[in-house]
Amino acid sequence: MFQYQTLNTLQCERFSHFAEYLQQENRAFNLTRIVDTSQIYLRHFADSLEALPWLDAVMARSEKPRLIDVGSGAGLPGLAIAIARPQWEVISLDATGKKIGFQQRLIRRLGLANVTALQGRAEELAHQPAFRERFDAVLARAVAHLQVVCELCVGFLSIDGRLVTAKGSEVGPEIEQARSTFATLQLDLETVTPYSLSDLAQKMETPLEGEDASFNLLVLTKKASISSRYPRPFGAIKKSLSGPYSTGAR
Ligand code: SAH
């Protein structure tokens, strides 16, 4: 069974079922390249939970804490966070219907009452009043280049809200390229925290199988409201990227 630091038995059971259902549905829907149970625990679940310490503080300020995961794919990190923090309201957003279909079935199976899986495009939804500046935190894992991620996510954030996004080990140049985007979008890059698969294995109290790898967790805070121009249509965001385009895949 999945094991992780402070999670209780129900939460760990939910993670184990999540992995089983992901493996089962993956054959039909091609949801992830990571198929081995221990690798799902490590690279999907423990990796997603790495955001928790950066979220707890900002979510604690809110009476009804709300979080959105942009481009959640098979439900990562959004559903993992929803399992770990049942007191938070979580929206798990993805543009692809088959991925949201999978998430909705999973949510029902696990009986998760605090999360909604929603099909839609971030750059459209972020202009709707019910979504604009309505979230204490936004997550995005492996969605796009950092500049694109910032623009897709910032509209959702309330002032002083946080964007937490995981990147690979070589994030330095991507950050330098994104400096002007941070300024335009009123984002302060607060911290860049390196972590590795062996750190994650330690939190699961299991030995690391296979090779180690390192990543960075970026935490950005929104300092002020932004122009209603942003986010622009996806084509315009991609076109204005400085430097080589990256898919954000890790
Ligand atoms: N966060 C997941 C999935 C990463 S793949 C994980 O870490 O495993 C990127 C996902 O982002 C895809 O499922 C894609 O459908 C979604 N996506 C890309 N651009 C998007 C947009 N503009 N709005 C909503 N979802 C988007």
* pLDDT, position 248: 58
pLDDT score of 244 more than 90: no
Residue located nearest, by CA, to atom 7 of ligand 1? 141
Instruction: State the distance from the centre of ligand 1 to the C-alpha of 120, rounded, in angstroms.
Output: 10
Spatial neighbors of 153 by CB under 8 A, at least 6 apart, are 70, 122, 126, 138, 140, 163, 165
Residue located nearest, by CA, to atom 11 of ligand 1? 71
- Tell me the average pLDDT of the chain: 95
Rounded to whole angstroms, the Cα distance separating 250 from 245 reads 14
pTM for the predicted model, two decimal places: 0.96
**Per-residue pLDDT tens for 195-215?**
999 999 999 999 998 899 999
* pLDDT, position 29: 83
Rounded to whole angstroms, the Cα distance separating 147 from 240 reads 9
Ligand 1, CB within 6 Å, residue ranges: 70-74, 76, 93-96, 99, 121-123, 141-143, 152, 234
Residue located nearest, by CA, to atom 26 of ligand 1? 71
Structural contact between residues 43 and 34, judged by C-beta atoms closer than 8 angstroms = yes
Question: CA-CA distances (angstroms) from residue 195 to 29, 51, 134, 185, 202?
Answer: 30, 11, 30, 27, 11
Domains, the chain, with CATH or none:
9-239 (3.40.50.150)
Instruction: State the distance from the centre of ligand 1 to the C-alpha of 207, rounded, in angstroms.
Output: 30
Quickly state the pLDDT bin for 242 (edges 50, 70, 90).
low
Residue located nearest, by CA, to atom 3 of ligand 1? 73
Residue located nearest, by CA, to atom 17 of ligand 1? 71
DSSP 19-86: HHHHHHHHHHH---S--SHHHIIIIIIIHHHTTHHHHHHHHHT-SS-EEEEES-TTTTTHHHHHHH-T
**Per-residue pLDDT tens for 136-150?**
999 999 999 999 999
